Structure 1
Amino acid sequence: MTFVDHAPKTGAPPSAPGPLGRLGDWTASHFRTALAGWVIVVAVLGVFAPQVTTALSGAGWQSNGSESVAVRELAQQHFGGTGSTAIQVVVHADRPVTDPAVQTVLAKATKLLTADDRISEVVQPRAGATISRDGATNGSPARRAHHATAPSTVGSAQPTN
């Protein structure tokens, strides 16, 4: 079998790697140190991550007069304060929202949310507003309390048959 080398032969020695090449070489030969450095960076950023939302949103980090700010203000005004900071709780079932089993799940979800002091109000299912056209899905917003940080997953409500 014959191999053909199509690379031009210039006779010049290969050039030294650039800054990224040297960084790659160093990282490859100091894997544990590089990994430890990245773990430290991720841990430090992870400590500050929960504070980013409130630090940026409350510090005037918005474009006043922009379309997004106007829409957010309209949502606050027309949706009972459940605009950009609302939590959307969606319950989908294979039967109508009016079914007693689905009502039990909705009641449990509402109870879980209202028990959390970070939630100030849960909007109850309303035809034409939170219930889908097919009647099998309800998307009720829950208003966060003004002092609240973003809640994590509150819980799981499953129908019992």
Structure 2
Amino acid sequence: MQIQSEIPTIVAERSPLEYFHGLYIKDAAAFGGATAFCWFIDDAEAIAHLRDRLALVYLDSEGEADEVQAVAKAISTALNGVNALKAIDLDSVNATLVGLCELVWAGSLDDLRRGNEPFERDLQDDYYQNVFGDERGMGDSEWDDFAHHLTHYNG
């Protein structure tokens, strides 16, 4: 059984080169305002994380059990019928997460690299403009360099 404090660490430490499906989440100011990518084996695992575990990242399952259950139910309702990360209505999900975090982006590594949504374009621009800051060219491929860039992106 995973303990609560391990949940965000496990998915945040995964490599997007092995786990191609991701979420980019920004903590609310009350939780420090940190941002992080979380990586998953497929869309189903990422959606299950949102539905079943995200509330536990921010709320104490024992002390705030009713709130955890209410947030998880609201997220589940917002994700009703969603089977693909790109089909998630971010506004709908974020309405359930007020005061906890914001789901900024959901998709695949390929979406980040080649996508045309505002977040994807901003990240691509940051990657191409940050030639020296992330030791570009140190990896075996452009994909390695891009994945390395994601480890310290805080857009």
Do both share a fold (TM > 0.5)? Answer: no
What range is the shorter-chain TM-score in? under 0.3
Greater relative contact order, per chain length (Cα 8 Å cut-off, separation 6+): 2
> What is the TM-score with the length of structure 2 in the denominator?
0.25
Q: Which has the higher helix share?
A: 2
